Amino acid sequence: MPTNSHVAPVIVASENGRAGAVAAMELLRRGGAAIDAAELAARVTEDDPEEHSVGFSGLPNLLGQVELDASLMNGRTLETGAVAGVQEYGNVISLARAVMEELPHVLLTGRGAERLAAELGQKPADQRTLASLERWRERFVEKGVELTSDELCHLVSRLTIPLHLEDRVPHGTVNYLVRDVHGDLASAVSTSGLAWKYPGRVGDSPIIGAGNYCDNRYGAVACTGSGELAIRVSTARSLILYLKMGMGLDEAGQECLAEIEQLQPRVGQYMNIVAMTPDGQHSGFSTVADKRYLYYTGEMAEPTLGERMTRVSSN
Ligand code: ASP
C-alpha cells in the first residue's frame, strides 16, 4: 500500500488525552511512526496517577481489582493486538503491541496476557485505586444497605444498583488516532472499563471493530462510553465501512449514532466516537450533548478541544 510523504501529522484523542498527545506529537515531528506515537500517547495516559479511567489508577471491579483492556491497530498493515481483563500490569497498550508483533494472535485475556507481561520482563504492581471501591461501598452503608461481595456481584449484573446510587456509573477510556508524516494511520485505546463491573466483564476497547478500527485507505475510529453499545453494533468498523461506501465523515458518524440510538440505551448508557480520515479531517460524535474531543495537528501550538456532534434527526 503506497504512502504519501510529508503530510502534516495529526492526533485526535478523547478529552483526557492531552498529555499523551503532546508527547506523541513530539515524536511525530521528528518523523516517528504513527504506531509508535499511538502507543507512546496511551502509555503516558496509563502512567498518569491522576487518570482514573486508564492504567494502574483505573477504577476497580466489584471485588476491588483493577482489570485493564487495551488495543492497538496499524492502519497500513491492518495488524492489530489487544488484551482484556489484565490485572497488576499497567501498560496494557504495550502488551497489546506485543500480542500484535510477537504472537500469531490478536487478543489475549487475563492470565495469558499477564503471563506474556511477565515474559516481557514487566514488573507486577499493586493497583492504586482500591479506595474508590471503599467509597462506593460506603454509599451502600449510608443508604442502610449491607451486601457481601457475592451479593454485589449478583446485583450489579442487572446494572440497577449502581444506577440508583450514582448519577451515572463512572468510567472512561483514552482514545488516540494518529497520522504520521508519511500518511500512515494508527489507533490506540486503553481503559479500566466500567467502574464496579462484574469481574471478567470486557467492554468495547479491546474488541477490534467495536471500540477501535484503523485502515489507511479509509480512516481511523475509536470509542469511549458504554462499551456494550459499541459491541452490539460494531461501531468502529461500521463507521469505516460507511466511509468506504462513500459517505462523508459526518454522515458516517451520524449513521453510527442512529444505530446506537436504535438499541434504546439504558439510563446512564451513552457512546462517544472520534474519527479521522486519511486526509486528516476529524470529527467527534456523541449520543449525549456537551461532549468534547481533542485534536492536534503539526501546525498547531497545542491540542485544542472540539465539540462532538450529537444526532441530527432525519425527520
Ligand atoms: N468504553 C469503555 C468500556 O466500556 C468504558 C468507557 O469508555 O467509559 O469498557
Domain annotation covers residue 1: no
Which contiguous run of DSSP H or E holds residue 12?
A: strand 10-14
CA distance 134 to 96: 30
Query: Domain tally for the chain?
Result: 1
Residue-wise DSSP of 19-86: HHHHHHHHHHHTT--HHHHHHHHHHHHHT-TT-TTSGGGSPP-TTS---EEEEEEETTT--EEEEEEE
Digit-coded pLDDT (tens) for 17-60: 999 999 999 999 999 999 999 999 999 999 998 888 888 888 88
pTM for the structure as a whole: 0.91
| Ligand 1 atom index nearest CA of 173 | 7
CATH number of the domain residue 25 falls in: 3.60.20.30
Per-residue pLDDT tens for 218-242?
A: 999 999 999 999 999 999 999 999 9
Q: At 68, phi and psi to the nearest 5?
A: -105, 145
Q: Which grid cell sits at 219?
A: 480512516
On whether residue 4 sits in a domain, the answer given is no
Owning domain of residue 93? 10-307
- Between the CA of 231 and the centroid of ligand 1 the distance, in Å, is 11
Calculate how far, in angstroms, residue 252's C-alpha sits from the geometric centre of ligand 1: 21
Atom 4 in ligand 1: residue holding the nearest Cα: 227
Rounded to whole angstroms, the Cα distance separating 116 from 144 reads 44
| Ligand 1 atom closest to 171 (CA) | 8
Residue among 196, 224, 273, 308 whose CB has most ligand 1 atoms within 8 A, to mutate:
224
Q: Do the domain assignments include residue 236?
A: yes
158 is a domain residue: yes
* 93 C-alpha to ligand 1 centroid (Å): 15
Domain membership flag for residue 108: yes
Instruction: Round to whole Å and give the CA distance between 303 and 309.
Output: 19
pLDDT (0 to 100) of residue 133: 62
The sign of the CA dihedral 284, 222, 202, 136 is negative
- The whole-chain average pLDDT of the chain stands at 89
- CA 192/CA 45 separation, integer angstroms: 12
Q: What is the pLDDT of residue 269?
A: 87
Domain membership of residue 200 (yes or no) is yes
Q: Which of 191, 201, 260, 287 to mutate to test the pocket of ligand 1 (most atoms within 8 A of CB)?
A: 191
Q: Is residue 47 part of a domain?
A: yes
At residue 161, the pLDDT reads 47
Cell numbers at 143, concatenated: 443508604
- Give me the active site residues, please: 173
Other Cβ atoms less than 10 A from the Cβ of 130: the count is 13
Residues with CB under 6 A from ligand 1: 171-173, 191, 193-194, 203-205, 211, 224-227
Residue 170 above 70 pLDDT?
no
Give the range with max mean pLDDT: 157-161, 164-168, 225-229.
Answer: 225-229
Q: pLDDT digit string (tens) for 113-151? A: 999 999 999 988 876 665 666 666 666 666 666 666 666
**Beta-strand relationship, 282-286 and 10-14:** unpaired
Please name which of 254, 198, 193, 275 lies closest in space to residue 226, comparing C-alpha atoms. Answer: 193
pLDDT more than 70, % of the chain: 83
Please indicate, yes or no, if residue 15 is contained in any of the structural domains.
Answer: yes
- Quick one: which atom of ligand 1 is closest to the CA of 223? 1
Q: Residue 208 carries which DSSP code?
A: B
Task: Return the C-alpha cell found at 186.
Answer: 494508527
